[in-house]
Amino acid sequence: MATSTIDTKMTTTWRDYLELCKPKVVALIIFTAVIGMFLAVPGMVPLDILVFATLGIGLASGSAAAINHVMDRKIDAIMGRTHNRPLPQGSMSTSQALTFAIIIGVLAMIMLVLFVNTLTAILTFTSLIGYAVVYTMYLKRATPQNIVIGGAAGAAPPLLGWVAVTGSVDTEALLLFLIIFTWTPPHFWALAIHRVDEYAKVDMPMLPVTHGVEFTRLQILYYTVLLLLVTLLPYGYGMSGEFYLAGALVLGLIFMVYSVRLYRNENERLPMQTFGYSIIYLMLLFGFLLVDHYLQVFL
């Protein structure tokens, strides 16, 4: 009986640490970073770079997420979306979370410096600080444009993947960065509309709180149009071909339909439907980039 109790406790503890890393967010980060690596080479990414860059970027993302949990623990306890997180639930202490964040953050930097390259380590560390400190501790509470400015940190993964392979920041990597940077506002503002009352309760200056839901819907529509145009740049620059172009247009037009419906309709389910599609959109868009890349190489 005693052994069973200890095992259960250990399992719960590791689930808490996993939750601290925001695994769904980190999975999307790793996905775009890995595609950035493959887009940087005509063939296969060197196995050592693929393994250590993926681990390093993933651990750094987990570290930033854990710091975010620590900084937001008080408002997380109030909001329905986040009140089940480990710190508000009391299943983990603040010191445990910070220690964990520091350990995996340091491991990430060591891994990137020793086995990838210094530039990737510097850019990854900059992104970590940008999200965990600049966005979480300042921008998030200072301006309704927090997600626009802070989106730079979240847009970095494909650029980091590219730099891990090439050792340089090239135009193609910046285009990948720009796509996610432009995608972030309509993606997150859709969620913010759905959770507007919760953000208002914790006095968080998200755009629908400060400027109203109708204004935010309009901004989502504007940014979706801009996103559609930005996603055409890889084709215009010669980075990708017709297969990607067709995919980007179809996915972008579907996103436009969601945004127009959201703008015209006050159906309470539409914000989360738009939010959900935005995640599928980004994954498919980068999937089209990857497939198109190898179609150009082998055909």
174-228 pLDDT per residue, tens: 999 999 999 999 999 999 999 999 989 888 899 999 999 999 999 999 999 999 9
Pick from 221, 265, 296: nearest CA to 39: 296
pLDDT at 299: 76
Q: How far apart are CA 297 and CA 167, in angstroms?
A: 21
Q: How far apart are CA 240 and CA 243, in angstroms?
A: 8
pLDDT in tens, 157-171: 999 999 999 999 999
Q: Where are the alpha helices (DSSP H) in 72-210?
A: 73-76, 86-89, 94-115, 118-129, 140-142, 146-154, 157-166, 171-194, 196-201, 207-210
- Asked if residue 148 has pLDDT above 80, the reply is yes
pLDDT at 81: 79
Q: How far apart are CA 285 and CA 292, in angstroms?
A: 11
Burial class (CB in 10 A: 0-12, 13-18, 19+), 63: buried
pLDDT band of residue 255 (cuts 50, 70, 90) is: very high
pLDDT at 5: 38
Rounded to an integer, the average pLDDT of 129-148 is 87
Q: How far apart are CA 166 and CA 172, in angstroms?
A: 11
pLDDT at 264: 92
Q: Are 135 and 153 in contact (CB under 8 A)?
A: yes
Q: How far apart are CA 137 and CA 22, in angstroms?
A: 18
Q: How far apart are CA 60 and CA 128, in angstroms?
A: 7
pLDDT at 42: 92
- Asked if residue 63 has pLDDT above 50, the reply is yes
pLDDT at 84: 85
**Tokens 């997150």 found at:** 188
pLDDT at 170: 97
pLDDT in tens, 257-294: 999 999 998 788 999 999 999 999 999 999 999 999 99
Q: How far apart are CA 163 and CA 1, in angstroms?
A: 52
Please provide the distance, in angstroms rounded to a whole number, between the alpha carbons at the two ends of the chain: 63
Q: Alpha carbon of 120 to those of 132, 156, 169, 177, 232: distances in Å? A: 18, 11, 10, 14, 27
Q: What's the distance, CA 81 to chain centroid?
A: 17
Q: Alpha carbon of 229 to those of 50, 149, 185, 223: distances in Å? A: 31, 20, 15, 10
- Asked if residue 3 has pLDDT above 70, the reply is no
Question: How many other C-beta atoms lie within 10 A of the C-beta of residue 152?
Answer: 18
